[in-house]
Structure 1
Amino acid sequence: MHNAPSFSAISQSEIWRALQAQAKQLKQRRLTDLFADGPLRARDFSLELPRFLLDYSKNPVDRPVFVNLLRLAQEAGVEQWRDDFFAGKPINVTEGRPVLHPALRGGLDADVEVDGVSVSEAVEVELQRLKELVVLLHNGDLTGCSGKRITNVVNLGVGGSHLGPQTVIEALRTHRKGDVAVHFVSNVDGAQLTDVLAGLDAESTLFIVSSKTFTTGETMTNARSALSWLQRAMPERPAEALLQQHFIGVTASPDKAQQFGILPERIYRFWDWVGGRYSLWSSIGLPIAIACGFDHFRALLDGAAEMDRHFREAPLAQNAPVILALLSVWNCSFMGYPAHAVLPYNQALHMLPAYLQQADMESNGKSTNRAGVEVDYATGPLIWGQTGINGQHAFYQYLHQSPEVVPADFIGTVAPGHELSGHHEVLLANMFAQSQALMNGVDAESVARELTAKGLSQEEIKRLTPFKVHRGGKPSNTILLKELDPRSLGALIALYEHKIFVQGVILQIYSFDQWGVELGKGLASKLESKLAAGDLTGEDGSTAQLIDYYRRVNGAVTSTELPEVGVAESAGEQA
């Protein structure tokens, strides 16, 4: 296994220094010159797979750079790490776990055992249980305490326990089945739960409590409030009966779900070798199966398994996740572009930027390499974005004319997913035009010609030209799906999962822990009691002031004497 004693910092390697030198050279070249120098560039820097075309030709990369990036992947041990990943070795080193989300969708080339248990068999057992539950729901055979059919399902979960399933359900809006409505509550802000429950009939509502540990503070707070809502609506029913009839648990800690009061037969498992942000393929995906039907859920898994096979088997130079990862490392760590935009030109994919933001930034938002030493290079970029047409009328001004360079992924579909004529051509024309405009820009001479043709005076032309110039040279990838169906969506999400993994391997960081998430959650649990009790001892001046203000405005106290905390003392406590 990969261990610290044999660790060699990638940033000190010959190939890293060679790429740094090439980055300096490429910054002086225009993307349009790369196309002029290579008439077949679009063909040579594209990859066509069964479900989509990946065009990465609009990146500041020439053939020598691409060859060196492939050498970088080899030197970083991408192929070995990939083999260990699919073999179930504990590549999540800091937590001592394998990372086996491909097993959830049949993406392994051979079965793996964890703690003496066949992973494939365990997964299939849970899938069959999910299928049985979905059939009961769709047939109207699952009822609440009063005998009413369950017609509304509310998923209580946060992070990976809600974002993946909700993203997929939104994306597969044309593939929904049955008449059971699925709702999501992720925020502990009671306003969301209140809004979702408004108008729902308690007697026909089922709650899915999705939590890996079944101790997630936000989720369990919402679960207790959901139980209280049921109790108010059905006061004659004991809490035990409500929990048994109106709650399902999805968790890697079934004993905790039982302690909460959920029946063992209504607890659906996944395992600690499944990271939360990679869990939609597991029982966490139950809302997907309910909303879209189990067959479509299985097709989603099959599409992801297709990408698993491509990632396992394709040579690095024709491997879509590897190529996207290398381009991300190149643009962020070598070219110095710290952000990356995800721009889907399909309304059904409107949640994809948020989903990929979590998947990428929670994985690679690290500053320590595998030897425990702080890195001396940029790791993963800031991920952000929005649906394309809306974004054009919001932040594309920044993309085009800001001095900052933000590489982007444009994602669209050949098939429209609706029957309105003319709309899809307008949509795709905009997508293609935006990537073209980001690459080409508009120089002063072109602006002057345009203004001259409009009859403006030379004085006006001279005054306006600087404001209308676009520098261009802004890189992008385009992913053009044949259609947005369960299989292609599964392949698309798995493509990004593996891209993120490869980025982490190259950058020599551990992508599958998230210690940065835990710090704030731990502090929050300590501050909850202080909001109620008003004990400000040991808090920095700012936090103490915020708690005091909350309590005064909330009517909890009439006045509180703030402790005197100096800047130096506050800084020391924070450290």
Structure 2
Amino acid sequence: MKNINPTKTIAWKILQDHFQNIKYTTITELFKKDKNRFKNFAINFENEILFDFSKNIISNKTINYLFNLLKELEYSNSIRDMFYGKNINKTEHRSVLHIALRNHNNNDFIVHNNNIYNDVRNNLSKIKQISNDIINGIWTGYTGKPIKNIINIGIGGSYLGPLMVTEALKSYHNHLNIYFISSLDATQLIHTLKYINPEESIFIVSSKTFTTQETIVNACNIKEWFMENTSNLNINDMFTKHFIGITSNTTDAMTFGIPQQNILPIWNWVGGRFSLWSSIGLPISLLIGFKNFYELLHGAEKMDHHFFYSNINNNIPIIMALISIWYNNFWNAETEAIIPYSYDMRFLPKYLQQLNMESNGKSIDRTKNNIDYQTSPIIWGDIGTEGQHSFFQMLHQGTKIIPCDFIAPVLPHIYLQNNHNILISNYIAQTRALAFGNNITNKNDINEYEICTGNHPSNSIFMRKITPYNLGLLIALYEHKIFIQGIIFNIFSFDQWGVELGKKISNLILEDLNDNVNNINKYDSSTNGLINFYKSFL
């Protein structure tokens, strides 16, 4: 990967000049100048995903200048480095190969001189076997009752990925129930345990290191609860029948009590927020069946091929990344909104928030220098129709520029013709209103307080239907978008050292909360005051 401050490139300076020339241009003017703008600024991928980026404040010159920036940064070498297993996560000396997890054709992925293809395929076979056995009632609880409940214990990528996908693909669910436990707030744990029978439940403990505080504390609580609520039970039977571990730390998982045959690997070349394609996706496979899980992987693989092989002019992840750079770094837009018009996809904004901000929320570049330009935008959002009755007011008439991605399925799984037509009319209308404002109505009929100036940019993504395959396409699209942004930002997108600092400090404070000292006075006055106030109630 080429280590260069992007603001020092020739292309960046040209983009700065271009921004001065185009910043007063409106989307309305751009559409008037180009009667074929939609055709020229939209990409149809296999008739499964339509990406329309015409409602942006960009011209052909803008796109070409952004392409030149990528070329000057030798982006294609960086893409090859990732796909060829180079150690692009240099601060942790690791390859970044979540793409290998959904690979069906290339049997030559090399990591540290080892071909990982067979490891990945063997693990997929194990996921398939476990899924089929539990779904078909072959794997039963210790009393012989079939499994009804899957409880996923994990946090971060071990939680958000499976949660988002299982909810988005709810129309594909079988008879099993899924519960997620991620928080140290005991409310979530206790409320979950109220509704399940231990004899009919499988507990999946997902922690790459098997030391993640939230996960291990909750796993220990569940282990204790399980033993208290079962009788005449051989402890080995308990763990064999009811506990599965997903980790790279087999030793600690076995010490916890999970037998080796119930432990699935997650490799160090898989980052947590990119891990739903791995063993972390076992809950997905259990809820929608392995065949559908495989289709999810297949969709992601298709997007991998598109990203790797497609010409830059027709490459959706690259164009999405460049549009984001355009607003983030030249228009000084600090946020991006993800707005799905689908109830099932309500967790997508939260998932993409982690994927983007944990990857590109960095202030040190690849040469260890402080960064003096904006890196990750703030990602947020909500379901479209609900957002229309809350934050859309700011989108239409506020003073901030907030680029938006609008996402909707053409074909719903639950079809009420009138409902869906109204939903899609809102989806399309909002992008039109944001782009053109009151220019599309008779201004004589409105007063000053009703004026919407328009010129608010957005991308529109139409999915033919929310299927496992198409969801795989969409998730991989955003993964590669974020990777391209990281190339331009000159940062390492695949570590998260900032997360570790809070963990270290919390361990120190936990010692103070647990000791008998009544007046803590070794931190700053605020931290001391908060600790002492809390301890006054104990």
Interval of TM-score (by shorter of Structure 1 and Structure 2): over 0.9
Measured after TM superposition, the shift of residue 322 of structure 1 is 0.3
Question: Residue type matched to 2:528 in 1?
Answer: A
Partner Cα separation in structure 2 for residue 9 and residue 184 of structure 1: 42
Q: Indicate the residue corresponding to 2:94 in structure 1.
A: 97
Q: Indicate the residue corresponding to 2:534 in structure 1.
A: 550
Measured after TM superposition, the shift of residue 239 of structure 1 is 4.8
1:477 counterpart SS class: strand
Measured after TM superposition, the shift of residue 493 of structure 1 is 0.3
Q: 1:425 aligns with which of 421, 425, 432?
A: 421
Contact 2:395 2:434 (8 Å CA) reproduced: yes
The answer on 1:68 being equivalent to 2:50 is no
1:94 counterpart SS class: coil
Partner Cα separation in structure 2 for residue 329 and residue 161 of structure 1: 29
The answer on 1:21 being equivalent to 2:17 is yes
Contact 2:5 2:489 (8 Å CA) reproduced: no
Q: Indicate the residue corresponding to 2:379 in structure 1.
A: 383
Partner Cα separation in structure 2 for residue 119 and residue 58 of structure 1: 43
Partner Cα separation in structure 2 for residue 489 and residue 442 of structure 1: 35
Contact 1:107 1:304 (8 Å CA) reproduced: no
| Higher mean displacement: 310-319 or 417-426 | 417-426
Measured after TM superposition, the shift of residue 38 of structure 1 is 1.1
Measured after TM superposition, the shift of residue 247 of structure 1 is 0.9
Contact 2:152 2:181 (8 Å CA) reproduced: yes
Q: 1:141 aligns with which of 138, 142, 161?
A: 138
Partner Cα separation in structure 2 for residue 446 and residue 119 of structure 1: 59
Aligned CA distance change for structure 1 residues 374 and 110 (closer, same or farther; 3 Å): farther
Cα-to-partner distance string for 1:461-481 (whole Å, 9 max, x where unaligned): xxxx22111121100000101
Partner Cα separation in structure 2 for residue 448 and residue 484 of structure 1: 39
Question: Residue type matched to 1:173 in 2?
Answer: K
Aligned CA distance change for structure 1 residues 448 and 495 (closer, same or farther; 3 Å): closer
Contact 1:154 1:183 (8 Å CA) reproduced: yes
1:250 counterpart SS class: strand
Partner Cα separation in structure 2 for residue 68 and residue 130 of structure 1: 46
Measured after TM superposition, the shift of residue 199 of structure 1 is 2.1
Q: Indicate the residue corresponding to 1:274 in structure 2.
A: 270
Partner Cα separation in structure 2 for residue 234 and residue 285 of structure 1: 28
The answer on 1:495 being equivalent to 2:477 is yes
Q: 1:42 aligns with which of 38, 43, 48?
A: 38
Contact 2:9 2:69 (8 Å CA) reproduced: no
Aligned CA distance change for structure 1 residues 108 and 354 (closer, same or farther; 3 Å): farther
Q: Indicate the residue corresponding to 1:516 in structure 2.
A: 498
Paired residues for 1:158-197 under 5 Å: 158-177=155-174, 179-197=175-193
Contact 2:336 2:403 (8 Å CA) reproduced: yes
Cα-to-partner distance string for 1:157-201 (whole Å, 9 max, x where unaligned): 000001111111111111122x22121111111100111111211
Q: 1:533 aligns with which of 512, 515, 538?
A: 515
Q: Indicate the residue corresponding to 2:289 in structure 1.
A: 293
Aligned CA distance change for structure 1 residues 532 and 235 (closer, same or farther; 3 Å): farther
Cα-to-partner distance string for 1:339-372 (whole Å, 9 max, x where unaligned): 0000001111111000000000100011111111
1:414 counterpart SS class: strand
Question: Residue type matched to 1:214 in 2?
Answer: F
| Higher mean displacement: 422-431 or 115-124 | 115-124
| Higher mean displacement: 138-147 or 180-189 | 138-147
2:394 counterpart SS class: helix
Aligned CA distance change for structure 1 residues 543 and 238 (closer, same or farther; 3 Å): farther
Partner Cα separation in structure 1 for residue 256 and residue 237 of structure 2: 12
Measured after TM superposition, the shift of residue 421 of structure 1 is 2.1
The answer on 1:449 being equivalent to 2:444 is yes
1:342 counterpart SS class: strand
Cα-to-partner distance string for 1:120-158 (whole Å, 9 max, x where unaligned): 110010110111111110121222233332211100000
1:271 counterpart SS class: coil
Partner Cα separation in structure 2 for residue 96 and residue 408 of structure 1: 35
Q: Indicate the residue corresponding to 1:156 in structure 2.
A: 153
Instruction: Please provide the CA RMSD for this pair.
Output: 1.5
Question: Residue type matched to 2:249 in 1?
Answer: S
1:148 counterpart SS class: coil
1:93 counterpart SS class: coil
Q: Indicate the residue corresponding to 2:221 in structure 1.
A: 225
Partner Cα separation in structure 1 for residue 56 and residue 25 of structure 2: 11
Measured after TM superposition, the shift of residue 203 of structure 1 is 1.6
Instruction: Report percent identity of matched pairs.
Output: 40
Partner Cα separation in structure 2 for residue 396 and residue 122 of structure 1: 47
Partner Cα separation in structure 2 for residue 206 and residue 529 of structure 1: 33
Partner Cα separation in structure 2 for residue 70 and residue 302 of structure 1: 29
Contact 1:447 1:468 (8 Å CA) reproduced: no
1:337 counterpart SS class: coil
Partner Cα separation in structure 2 for residue 128 and residue 24 of structure 1: 56
Aligned CA distance change for structure 1 residues 106 and 338 (closer, same or farther; 3 Å): same
Q: 2:347 aligns with which of 344, 351, 357?
A: 351
Contact 1:244 1:261 (8 Å CA) reproduced: no
Cα-to-partner distance string for 1:427-448 (whole Å, 9 max, x where unaligned): 11001000000011126x9665
Cα-to-partner distance string for 1:20-68 (whole Å, 9 max, x where unaligned): 1111222211111011111111111111111211000111111111111
Partner Cα separation in structure 2 for residue 355 and residue 534 of structure 1: 41
Q: Indicate the residue corresponding to 1:113 in structure 2.
A: 110
Partner Cα separation in structure 2 for residue 35 and residue 153 of structure 1: 51
The answer on 1:132 being equivalent to 2:129 is yes
Question: Residue type matched to 1:352 in 2?
Answer: L
Q: Indicate the residue corresponding to 2:356 in structure 1.
A: 360
Contact 1:447 1:469 (8 Å CA) reproduced: no
Partner Cα separation in structure 1 for residue 102 and residue 371 of structure 2: 34
Partner Cα separation in structure 1 for residue 413 and residue 147 of structure 2: 30
The answer on 1:333 being equivalent to 2:329 is yes
| Higher mean displacement: 227-236 or 214-223 | 227-236
Paired residues for 1:195-274 under 5 Å: 195-237=191-233, 239-274=235-270
Extract unaligned runs of 5+ from structure 1: 452-464, 557-575
Contact 2:139 2:241 (8 Å CA) reproduced: no
Measured after TM superposition, the shift of residue 260 of structure 1 is 1.2
Contact 1:302 1:487 (8 Å CA) reproduced: yes
Contact 1:161 1:211 (8 Å CA) reproduced: yes
Partner Cα separation in structure 2 for residue 530 and residue 262 of structure 1: 32
Contact 2:27 2:455 (8 Å CA) reproduced: yes
Larger radius of gyration: 1
Cα-to-partner distance string for 1:296-328 (whole Å, 9 max, x where unaligned): 000000000000000010011110000000000
Measured after TM superposition, the shift of residue 118 of structure 1 is 2.0
Measured after TM superposition, the shift of residue 107 of structure 1 is 6.5
1:182 counterpart SS class: strand
Partner Cα separation in structure 2 for residue 302 and residue 432 of structure 1: 29
Extract unaligned runs of 5+ from structure 2: none
Partner Cα separation in structure 1 for residue 12 and residue 292 of structure 2: 44
Partner Cα separation in structure 2 for residue 174 and residue 446 of structure 1: 40
Cα-to-partner distance string for 1:265-307 (whole Å, 9 max, x where unaligned): 0001120000000000000000000000000000000000000
Aligned CA distance change for structure 1 residues 94 and 496 (closer, same or farther; 3 Å): same
Contact 2:107 2:117 (8 Å CA) reproduced: no
Question: Residue type matched to 1:378 in 2?
Answer: Q
Aligned CA distance change for structure 1 residues 83 and 116 (closer, same or farther; 3 Å): closer
Partner Cα separation in structure 2 for residue 99 and residue 189 of structure 1: 33
Question: Residue type matched to 1:301 in 2?
Answer: L
Q: Indicate the residue corresponding to 2:451 in structure 1.
A: 469
1:161 counterpart SS class: helix
Partner Cα separation in structure 2 for residue 470 and residue 26 of structure 1: 21
Contact 2:4 2:490 (8 Å CA) reproduced: no
